[in-house]
């Protein structure tokens, strides 16, 4: 394997070069939270430990090391993050009942945005968190003819991607968003997902790729100094019933991670969508 370029030649007569997708320390952590199926209580214990004293600096180190690793080992500037033709994607129907899936939330985004092009977040006299929804299910490492460094196919199921990307028109900054519905409501897990995606999307190679293929639409080009909003949207008919222990601890951790600690993070925003009224408010 060519470690510098992240290429690997197939065995036998073929000389086709397969691109290698690296797996960073942060992505291994994210995968372990998922594959071990750790309970909310166990994850609460993890976040409590991370927020104790200065332990959160270890998570910052993981982020920085992971971004450096991904920057050195991955480059795919000749391919967009999304297929040119998105018509193969399952169309999302309008759900008139209570929201029960991530797809339902995206449908609500589409409906809300028809009014004035914005999705409004309810905060007293504050429109800083209103946003434009752009696209769903965006993989940071969409790569044709690829495999992970472990040998697993780059098209393997369960490799994950950002639930949605958007744009904050007030601050003129990009948004990476995760949606948690019902039993999937774990803001700490969502935060680790978003940190992983950010480390894989904010490298110099990936910023060039974002600009080249206009991932966030017709906006000014992003630079290495661009910061991102991270939106964590929980869905619950009653925001006061959200698992408060892990939410409050995750919010504390989020405050420690935003810039200047991690310059690429403008702010980590926690939202709740009422599963019946579909109103979105900042929590």
- Angle between the 204-212 and 187-201 helix axes, to the nearest 10 degrees? 80
Which pTM does this prediction carry? 0.90
- Select the highest-mean-pLDDT range: 79-88, 91-100, 264-273: 264-273
**What is the torsional sign of CA 50, 69, 153, 86?**
positive
Q: What are the structural domain ranges in the chain?
A: 7-81+91-282
Please choose, from the candidates 132, 217, 145, 138, the residue with its C-alpha nearest in 3D space to the C-alpha of residue 178. 138
How remote is the C-alpha of 190 from its chain's centroid? 8
Distance CA(176)–CA(125), nearest Å, equals 24
CA distances from 245 to 25, 124, 250 (A): 27, 25, 9
- Token pair of 212 as six digits: 């080249």
| Residue 84 pLDDT level (bands cut at 50, 70, 90) | confident
Residue listed under structure tokens 């998922």: 34
With 60 as the cut, is the pLDDT of residue 87 above it?
Answer: no
Please choose, from the candidates 174, 178, 175, the residue with its C-alpha nearest in 3D space to the C-alpha of residue 194. 178
- Token pair of 219 as six digits: 């906006």
Q: Would you state the pLDDT for residue 115?
A: 86
DSSP 217-262: -SSPPP-TT--EEEEEEEE-S-GGGS-HHHHHHHHHHHHHHTTTTS
Out of 160-169, 178-187, 198-207, pick the least confident.
178-187
Please choose, from the candidates 225, 253, 201, the residue with its C-alpha nearest in 3D space to the C-alpha of residue 74. 201
């Amino acid at each position: 394997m060519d470690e510098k370029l992240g290429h690997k030649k197939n065995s036998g007569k073929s000389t086709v070069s397969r691109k290698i997708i690296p797996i960073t320390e942060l992505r291994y952590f994210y995968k372990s939270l998922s594959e071990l199926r750790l309970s909310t209580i166990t994850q609460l214990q993890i976040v409590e430990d991370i927020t104790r004293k200065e332990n959160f600096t270890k998570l910052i180190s993981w982020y920085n090391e992971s971004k450096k690793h991904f920057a050195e080992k991955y480059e795919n500037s000749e391919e967009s993050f999304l297929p040119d033709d998105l018509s193969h994607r399952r169309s999302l129907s309008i759900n008139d009942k209570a929201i029960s899936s991530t797809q339902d939330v995206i449908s609500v985004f589409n409906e809300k945005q028809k009014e004035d092009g914005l999705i409004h977040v309810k905060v007293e006299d504050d429109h800083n968190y209103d946003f434009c929804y752009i696209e769903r299910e965006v993989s940071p490492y969409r790569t044709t003819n690829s495999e992970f460094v472990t040998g697993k196919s780059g098209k393997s199921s369960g490799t994950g991607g950002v639930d949605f990307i958007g744009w904050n028109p007030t601050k003129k900054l990009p948004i990476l968003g995760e949606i948690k519905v019902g039993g999937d409501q774990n803001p700490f897990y969502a935060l680790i997902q978003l940190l992983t995606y950010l480390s894989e999307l904010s490298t110099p190679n990936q910023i060039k790729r974002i600009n080249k293929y206009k991932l966030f639409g017709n906006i000014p080009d992003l630079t290495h100094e661009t910061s991102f909003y991270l939106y964590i949207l929980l869905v619950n008919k009653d925001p006061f019933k959200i698992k408060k222990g892990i939410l409050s601890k995750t919010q504390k951790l989020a405050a420690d991670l935003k810039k200047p600690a991690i310059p690429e993070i403008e702010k980590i925003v926690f939202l709740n969508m009422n599963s019946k009224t579909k109103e979105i408010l900042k929590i």
